[in-house]
Amino acid sequence: MNVTITDGTSVAPTDLPDRLRPVIEAARDEIDRRAGLPDELRAALRDAGAFRLMTPREYGGFEVPLSELLQIYQGFGHIDASVGLLVWNANFGFIGALLSEAGAARIWSDEREPILANSAMPGMAQKVDGGYLLTGQWRIVSGVNTADWVVVVAGVGHEIRACAVHRSQLTVQNSWDVSGMRGTASDDFLVESAFIPDELMSPPFDQPARIDRPLYRLFPAMVFPGCTAVVLGVAQAAIDEVVTLAPGKATASGAILADTARAQYAIAKHETALHAARLLLHAAAESLQTTAEEGGTIAIEQRTLLRAAMTHAADVSREALVAMYELAGSAALYRGNAIERIYRDGMAALQHANNSALFMEAAGRVRLGRDVGLPLF
Protein backbone atom coordinates (compact mmCIF):
# COMPACT_ATOMS: atom_id res chain seq x y z
CA MET A 1 0.00 0.00 0.00
CA ASN A 2 1.32 3.42 -0.94
CA VAL A 3 1.01 6.62 1.08
CA THR A 4 -0.48 9.79 -0.36
CA ILE A 5 1.56 12.84 0.69
CA THR A 6 -0.04 16.23 1.22
CA ASP A 7 1.21 17.44 -2.20
CA GLY A 8 -0.78 14.64 -3.83
CA THR A 9 2.14 12.36 -4.69
CA SER A 10 2.04 8.68 -3.78
CA VAL A 11 5.02 6.89 -2.24
CA ALA A 12 5.68 3.54 -0.63
CA PRO A 13 5.98 3.67 3.19
CA THR A 14 9.66 2.71 2.89
CA ASP A 15 10.22 5.92 0.89
CA LEU A 16 8.85 8.16 3.66
CA PRO A 17 12.23 9.06 5.23
CA ASP A 18 13.65 10.27 1.92
CA ARG A 19 10.41 12.04 1.05
CA LEU A 20 10.37 13.88 4.38
CA ARG A 21 14.12 14.52 4.57
CA PRO A 22 13.94 18.19 3.47
CA VAL A 23 11.40 19.21 6.11
CA ILE A 24 13.27 17.28 8.84
CA GLU A 25 16.64 18.76 7.93
CA ALA A 26 15.15 22.26 7.81
CA ALA A 27 13.84 21.81 11.37
CA ARG A 28 16.92 20.10 12.82
CA ASP A 29 18.35 23.10 14.70
CA GLU A 30 14.94 24.03 16.08
CA ILE A 31 14.34 20.46 17.23
CA ASP A 32 17.47 20.62 19.37
CA ARG A 33 16.92 24.18 20.55
CA ARG A 34 13.33 23.76 21.71
CA ALA A 35 13.74 20.15 22.92
CA GLY A 36 10.80 18.94 20.87
CA LEU A 37 9.43 18.78 17.36
CA PRO A 38 8.11 21.99 15.80
CA ASP A 39 4.38 21.84 15.18
CA GLU A 40 4.89 22.02 11.42
CA LEU A 41 7.19 19.00 11.39
CA ARG A 42 4.91 16.95 13.62
CA ALA A 43 1.99 17.72 11.32
CA ALA A 44 4.03 16.81 8.25
CA LEU A 45 4.98 13.44 9.78
CA ARG A 46 1.40 12.73 10.78
CA ASP A 47 -0.09 13.77 7.45
CA ALA A 48 2.46 11.71 5.52
CA GLY A 49 1.49 8.58 7.45
CA ALA A 50 4.67 8.18 9.50
CA PHE A 51 2.62 7.53 12.66
CA ARG A 52 0.29 4.88 11.23
CA LEU A 53 2.76 2.29 10.01
CA MET A 54 1.42 -0.43 12.34
CA THR A 55 -2.17 0.80 12.52
CA PRO A 56 -4.75 -1.67 11.17
CA ARG A 57 -6.11 -0.97 7.70
CA GLU A 58 -9.57 -0.58 9.22
CA TYR A 59 -8.36 2.63 10.87
CA GLY A 60 -6.38 4.05 7.98
CA GLY A 61 -3.10 2.26 8.71
CA PHE A 62 -0.61 0.45 6.50
CA GLU A 63 0.30 -2.71 8.47
CA VAL A 64 3.88 -2.52 7.22
CA PRO A 65 5.77 -5.84 7.57
CA LEU A 66 8.35 -5.90 10.34
CA SER A 67 11.43 -5.97 8.11
CA GLU A 68 10.15 -2.93 6.20
CA LEU A 69 9.33 -1.17 9.47
CA LEU A 70 12.96 -1.53 10.52
CA GLN A 71 14.08 -0.07 7.21
CA ILE A 72 11.80 2.95 7.75
CA TYR A 73 12.94 3.55 11.33
CA GLN A 74 16.56 3.28 10.25
CA GLY A 75 15.93 5.82 7.50
CA PHE A 76 14.47 8.35 9.90
CA GLY A 77 17.29 7.74 12.40
CA HIS A 78 19.83 8.42 9.65
CA ILE A 79 18.30 11.87 9.13
CA ASP A 80 17.72 12.78 12.78
CA ALA A 81 17.91 10.57 15.87
CA SER A 82 15.13 12.32 17.77
CA VAL A 83 12.74 12.13 14.84
CA GLY A 84 13.56 8.47 14.35
CA LEU A 85 12.87 7.59 17.96
CA LEU A 86 9.66 9.63 18.04
CA VAL A 87 8.37 7.96 14.89
CA TRP A 88 9.08 4.55 16.42
CA ASN A 89 7.51 5.45 19.77
CA ALA A 90 4.41 6.91 18.13
CA ASN A 91 3.72 3.81 16.07
CA PHE A 92 1.52 2.08 18.60
CA GLY A 93 -1.52 2.08 16.35
CA PHE A 94 -1.50 -1.71 16.58
CA ILE A 95 -3.41 -1.16 19.84
CA GLY A 96 -6.42 -1.00 17.51
CA ALA A 97 -5.84 -4.69 16.71
CA LEU A 98 -5.73 -5.63 20.40
CA LEU A 99 -8.68 -3.64 21.73
CA SER A 100 -12.33 -4.35 21.08
CA GLU A 101 -14.03 -2.62 18.16
CA ALA A 102 -15.64 -0.22 20.63
CA GLY A 103 -12.28 0.62 22.18
CA ALA A 104 -10.61 1.23 18.83
CA ALA A 105 -13.54 3.39 17.78
CA ARG A 106 -12.93 5.65 20.78
CA ILE A 107 -9.35 6.29 19.72
CA TRP A 108 -10.07 6.68 16.01
CA SER A 109 -13.23 8.70 16.63
CA ASP A 110 -12.87 11.43 14.01
CA GLU A 111 -11.10 12.24 10.76
CA ARG A 112 -8.01 13.66 12.48
CA GLU A 113 -5.45 10.92 13.02
CA PRO A 114 -4.63 10.44 16.72
CA ILE A 115 -1.04 10.85 17.83
CA LEU A 116 0.08 8.11 20.22
CA ALA A 117 2.95 7.63 22.65
CA ASN A 118 3.78 4.62 24.78
CA SER A 119 5.65 3.27 27.74
CA ALA A 120 6.38 -0.35 28.58
CA MET A 121 7.01 0.44 32.25
CA PRO A 122 4.21 -1.27 34.15
CA GLY A 123 1.56 0.49 36.17
CA MET A 124 -1.11 -1.16 38.27
CA ALA A 125 -4.78 -1.46 37.33
CA GLN A 126 -7.55 -2.50 39.70
CA LYS A 127 -10.80 -3.94 38.34
CA VAL A 128 -13.88 -1.90 39.16
CA ASP A 129 -17.40 -1.80 37.79
CA GLY A 130 -17.24 -1.03 34.07
CA GLY A 131 -13.47 -0.77 33.84
CA TYR A 132 -10.25 -0.32 35.78
CA LEU A 133 -8.54 2.22 38.00
CA LEU A 134 -5.01 2.82 36.73
CA THR A 135 -2.20 4.21 38.86
CA GLY A 136 1.48 4.61 38.12
CA GLN A 137 4.42 6.75 37.17
CA TRP A 138 5.97 6.35 33.74
CA ARG A 139 9.44 7.72 33.04
CA ILE A 140 11.11 8.92 29.86
CA VAL A 141 8.09 8.77 27.55
CA SER A 142 9.01 10.20 24.16
CA GLY A 143 6.41 12.54 22.71
CA VAL A 144 4.06 12.42 25.69
CA ASN A 145 3.45 16.18 25.65
CA THR A 146 1.87 16.14 22.22
CA ALA A 147 0.18 12.73 22.27
CA ASP A 148 -3.60 12.42 22.19
CA TRP A 149 -3.39 8.96 23.79
CA VAL A 150 -0.65 7.10 25.63
CA VAL A 151 -0.53 3.29 25.48
CA VAL A 152 0.87 1.86 28.71
CA VAL A 153 1.48 -1.56 30.15
CA ALA A 154 -0.66 -2.39 33.15
CA GLY A 155 -0.56 -5.22 35.64
CA VAL A 156 -4.02 -6.58 36.41
CA GLY A 157 -3.47 -9.18 39.11
CA HIS A 158 -1.07 -11.68 37.55
CA GLU A 159 -1.91 -10.59 34.00
CA ILE A 160 -0.06 -8.12 31.78
CA ARG A 161 -2.22 -5.96 29.56
CA ALA A 162 -2.07 -2.76 27.54
CA CYS A 163 -4.44 0.14 27.97
CA ALA A 164 -5.02 3.46 26.26
CA VAL A 165 -4.95 6.51 28.52
CA HIS A 166 -6.33 9.81 27.27
CA ARG A 167 -4.09 12.85 27.44
CA SER A 168 -6.51 14.54 29.86
CA GLN A 169 -5.84 11.80 32.45
CA LEU A 170 -2.08 12.43 32.61
CA THR A 171 -0.02 14.74 34.77
CA VAL A 172 3.11 15.42 32.72
CA GLN A 173 6.26 16.36 34.59
CA ASN A 174 8.84 18.60 32.92
CA SER A 175 11.75 16.25 33.54
CA TRP A 176 13.61 16.00 30.19
CA ASP A 177 16.72 18.08 30.97
CA VAL A 178 19.34 16.30 28.86
CA SER A 179 22.02 16.90 26.25
CA GLY A 180 21.31 14.01 23.85
CA MET A 181 18.04 13.19 22.09
CA ARG A 182 16.62 16.51 23.28
CA GLY A 183 14.06 16.57 20.50
CA THR A 184 12.18 13.54 21.82
CA ALA A 185 10.80 15.61 24.74
CA SER A 186 10.75 12.41 26.81
CA ASP A 187 9.11 13.71 29.96
CA ASP A 188 7.73 11.63 32.83
CA PHE A 189 4.04 11.47 33.67
CA LEU A 190 1.78 10.38 36.50
CA VAL A 191 -1.63 8.72 36.51
CA GLU A 192 -3.55 8.55 39.77
CA SER A 193 -6.64 6.33 39.94
CA ALA A 194 -7.68 7.16 36.39
CA PHE A 195 -10.76 5.31 35.19
CA ILE A 196 -10.05 3.17 32.13
CA PRO A 197 -13.23 1.72 30.62
CA ASP A 198 -13.26 -1.97 29.75
CA GLU A 199 -13.05 -1.29 26.03
CA LEU A 200 -9.74 0.59 26.39
CA MET A 201 -8.02 -2.30 28.19
CA SER A 202 -6.56 -5.08 26.05
CA PRO A 203 -6.93 -8.78 26.81
CA PRO A 204 -3.92 -10.42 28.51
CA PHE A 205 -0.83 -10.46 26.31
CA ASP A 206 -0.88 -14.24 25.99
CA GLN A 207 -4.16 -14.06 24.05
CA PRO A 208 -4.23 -13.52 20.27
CA ALA A 209 -5.07 -10.12 18.85
CA ARG A 210 -8.67 -9.42 17.85
CA ILE A 211 -7.49 -8.65 14.32
CA ASP A 212 -5.69 -11.84 13.37
CA ARG A 213 -3.30 -10.86 10.60
CA PRO A 214 0.45 -11.52 10.25
CA LEU A 215 1.79 -8.29 11.74
CA TYR A 216 -0.32 -8.63 14.89
CA ARG A 217 0.75 -12.22 15.45
CA LEU A 218 4.20 -10.83 16.22
CA PHE A 219 3.15 -8.84 19.27
CA PRO A 220 5.16 -7.81 21.24
CA ALA A 221 8.25 -8.76 19.20
CA MET A 222 7.28 -6.26 16.49
CA VAL A 223 7.80 -3.35 18.90
CA PHE A 224 11.26 -3.80 20.41
CA PRO A 225 13.68 -3.79 17.43
CA GLY A 226 12.53 -0.44 16.05
CA CYS A 227 14.62 1.35 18.66
CA THR A 228 17.70 -0.55 17.49
CA ALA A 229 16.98 0.20 13.84
CA VAL A 230 16.98 3.91 14.67
CA VAL A 231 20.43 3.59 16.25
CA LEU A 232 21.78 1.75 13.20
CA GLY A 233 20.68 4.72 11.12
CA VAL A 234 22.36 7.16 13.51
CA ALA A 235 25.65 5.25 13.42
CA GLN A 236 25.59 5.17 9.62
CA ALA A 237 25.05 8.93 9.63
CA ALA A 238 28.19 9.34 11.75
CA ILE A 239 30.22 7.39 9.21
CA ASP A 240 28.76 9.40 6.34
CA GLU A 241 29.69 12.66 8.07
CA VAL A 242 33.30 11.57 8.63
CA VAL A 243 33.55 10.49 4.99
CA THR A 244 32.45 14.02 4.04
CA LEU A 245 34.82 15.63 6.55
CA ALA A 246 37.93 13.53 5.92
CA PRO A 247 39.11 14.89 2.53
CA GLY A 248 39.43 18.40 3.92
CA LYS A 249 40.62 17.72 7.45
CA ALA A 250 44.29 17.94 8.38
CA THR A 251 45.54 15.71 11.19
CA ALA A 252 48.09 16.61 13.88
CA SER A 253 50.84 15.20 11.66
CA GLY A 254 49.79 17.40 8.79
CA ALA A 255 48.42 14.54 6.69
CA ILE A 256 44.89 14.74 5.32
CA LEU A 257 42.58 12.46 7.34
CA ALA A 258 41.26 10.72 4.22
CA ASP A 259 44.81 9.72 3.29
CA THR A 260 45.63 8.06 6.61
CA ALA A 261 45.54 4.28 6.97
CA ARG A 262 43.90 4.72 10.37
CA ALA A 263 40.87 6.50 8.91
CA GLN A 264 40.64 4.19 5.92
CA TYR A 265 40.67 1.09 8.10
CA ALA A 266 38.23 2.47 10.70
CA ILE A 267 35.67 3.60 8.15
CA ALA A 268 35.75 0.33 6.23
CA LYS A 269 35.73 -1.76 9.40
CA HIS A 270 32.79 -0.04 11.10
CA GLU A 271 30.70 0.33 7.96
CA THR A 272 31.13 -3.39 7.28
CA ALA A 273 30.19 -4.21 10.87
CA LEU A 274 27.08 -2.03 10.64
CA HIS A 275 26.07 -3.68 7.38
CA ALA A 276 26.45 -7.14 8.89
CA ALA A 277 24.51 -6.20 12.02
CA ARG A 278 21.74 -4.74 9.87
CA LEU A 279 21.52 -7.91 7.79
CA LEU A 280 21.31 -10.06 10.93
CA LEU A 281 18.57 -7.91 12.45
CA HIS A 282 16.54 -7.96 9.24
CA ALA A 283 17.01 -11.70 8.80
CA ALA A 284 15.73 -12.33 12.33
CA ALA A 285 12.73 -10.06 11.69
CA GLU A 286 11.96 -11.72 8.36
CA SER A 287 12.05 -15.14 10.02
CA LEU A 288 9.33 -14.08 12.46
CA GLN A 289 7.34 -12.39 9.73
CA THR A 290 7.43 -15.47 7.48
CA THR A 291 6.22 -17.73 10.30
CA ALA A 292 3.40 -15.31 11.10
CA GLU A 293 2.35 -15.13 7.43
CA GLU A 294 2.26 -18.92 7.25
CA GLY A 295 0.16 -19.13 10.41
CA GLY A 296 2.83 -21.03 12.33
CA THR A 297 3.96 -20.76 15.93
CA ILE A 298 6.97 -18.55 16.49
CA ALA A 299 9.64 -20.54 18.29
CA ILE A 300 11.59 -19.30 21.29
CA GLU A 301 14.76 -19.64 19.18
CA GLN A 302 13.37 -17.14 16.65
CA ARG A 303 12.50 -14.63 19.35
CA THR A 304 15.92 -15.19 20.92
CA LEU A 305 17.74 -14.49 17.66
CA LEU A 306 15.85 -11.21 17.24
CA ARG A 307 16.73 -10.03 20.75
CA ALA A 308 20.37 -11.09 20.39
CA ALA A 309 20.57 -9.32 17.03
CA MET A 310 19.30 -6.16 18.71
CA THR A 311 22.00 -6.16 21.39
CA HIS A 312 24.64 -7.01 18.79
CA ALA A 313 23.52 -4.13 16.55
CA ALA A 314 23.57 -1.76 19.51
CA ASP A 315 27.12 -2.82 20.42
CA VAL A 316 28.30 -2.38 16.83
CA SER A 317 26.60 1.03 16.59
CA ARG A 318 28.22 2.22 19.81
CA GLU A 319 31.66 1.18 18.55
CA ALA A 320 31.08 2.99 15.26
CA LEU A 321 29.96 6.19 16.99
CA VAL A 322 33.02 6.24 19.25
CA ALA A 323 35.38 5.55 16.34
CA MET A 324 33.88 8.30 14.18
CA TYR A 325 33.96 10.78 17.06
CA GLU A 326 37.66 10.04 17.54
CA LEU A 327 38.41 10.41 13.84
CA ALA A 328 36.64 13.76 13.71
CA GLY A 329 39.03 15.11 16.36
CA SER A 330 38.41 18.56 17.80
CA ALA A 331 35.74 19.30 15.18
CA ALA A 332 33.44 16.95 17.09
CA LEU A 333 33.54 19.21 20.16
CA TYR A 334 31.68 22.14 18.65
CA ARG A 335 27.94 22.67 18.67
CA GLY A 336 26.77 23.10 15.14
CA ASN A 337 29.05 20.34 13.92
CA ALA A 338 27.04 17.36 12.69
CA ILE A 339 29.33 14.82 14.37
CA GLU A 340 28.83 16.50 17.76
CA ARG A 341 25.06 16.24 17.48
CA ILE A 342 25.02 12.73 16.00
CA TYR A 343 27.37 11.41 18.68
CA ARG A 344 25.48 12.74 21.69
CA ASP A 345 22.12 11.75 20.21
CA GLY A 346 23.33 8.29 19.27
CA MET A 347 24.91 7.58 22.63
CA ALA A 348 21.74 8.77 24.38
CA ALA A 349 19.59 6.49 22.21
CA LEU A 350 21.86 3.58 23.09
CA GLN A 351 20.91 4.07 26.75
CA HIS A 352 17.42 2.77 25.96
CA ALA A 353 16.68 -0.55 27.65
CA ASN A 354 15.97 -2.11 24.26
CA ASN A 355 19.60 -1.51 23.32
CA SER A 356 21.08 -2.89 26.52
CA ALA A 357 22.85 -6.16 27.24
CA LEU A 358 19.70 -7.59 28.84
CA PHE A 359 18.49 -9.27 25.67
CA MET A 360 21.84 -10.88 24.94
CA GLU A 361 21.96 -12.20 28.49
CA ALA A 362 18.47 -13.64 28.02
CA ALA A 363 19.54 -15.23 24.74
CA GLY A 364 22.41 -16.89 26.57
CA ARG A 365 20.06 -18.21 29.22
CA VAL A 366 17.82 -19.74 26.56
CA ARG A 367 20.79 -21.36 24.83
CA LEU A 368 21.90 -22.85 28.17
CA GLY A 369 18.45 -24.27 28.83
CA ARG A 370 17.56 -21.78 31.54
CA ASP A 371 14.43 -19.68 31.95
CA VAL A 372 14.48 -16.59 29.78
CA GLY A 373 14.06 -14.42 32.86
CA LEU A 374 12.45 -11.44 31.10
CA PRO A 375 8.79 -10.46 30.67
CA LEU A 376 7.39 -9.74 27.20
CA PHE A 377 10.11 -11.82 25.54
- Please give the residue that has the higher pLDDT: either 260 or 10: 260
pLDDT at residue number 7:
55
170: which residues sit within 8 A by CB, 6+ positions away? Answer: 144, 150, 189, 190, 191
Q: Range with the lowest mean pLDDT among 6-20, 48-62, 170-184?
A: 6-20
pLDDT at residue number 120:
85
Within this chain, domains 115-200 and 214-367 share the same CATH topology: no
Report pLDDT digits (tens) over 286-300.
999 999 999 999 999
Query: Residue 5 pLDDT > 90, yes or no?
Result: no
Query: Residue 227 pLDDT > 70, yes or no?
Result: yes
pLDDT at residue number 290:
97
pLDDT at residue number 160:
92
Report pLDDT digits (tens) over 157-166.
999 999 999 9
CATH code of the domain made up of 115-200? 2.40.110.10
Q: What's the pLDDT band for 375 if we cut at 50, 70, 90?
A: confident
Average pLDDT of span 164-188: 94
pLDDT at residue number 2:
55
Average pLDDT of span 126-147: 95
Query: Residue 170 pLDDT > 80, yes or no?
Result: yes
Query: Residue 3 pLDDT > 70, yes or no?
Result: no
Report pLDDT digits (tens) over 15-68.
999 999 999 999 999 998 888 999 999 999 999 999 999 999 999 999 999 999
Average pLDDT of span 115-135: 94
Range 3-95: architecture per CATH: Orthogonal Bundle (1.10)
3-state secondary structure 303-336: HHHHHHHHHHHHHHHHHHHHHHHHHHHHHHHCCC
User: Would you mind telling me the total number of residues written for the chain in this entry?
Assistant: 377
pLDDT at residue number 4:
52
pLDDT at residue number 48:
95
Query: Residue 168 pLDDT > 90, yes or no?
Result: yes
pLDDT at residue number 9:
60
Range 214-367: architecture per CATH: Up-down Bundle (1.20)
Please report, for the chain, the start and end positions of each structural domain, with discontinuous segments joined by +.
3-95, 115-200, 214-367
- What's the predicted TM-score (pTM) here? 0.94
d(CA 280, CA 147): 33
Average pLDDT of span 249-262: 93
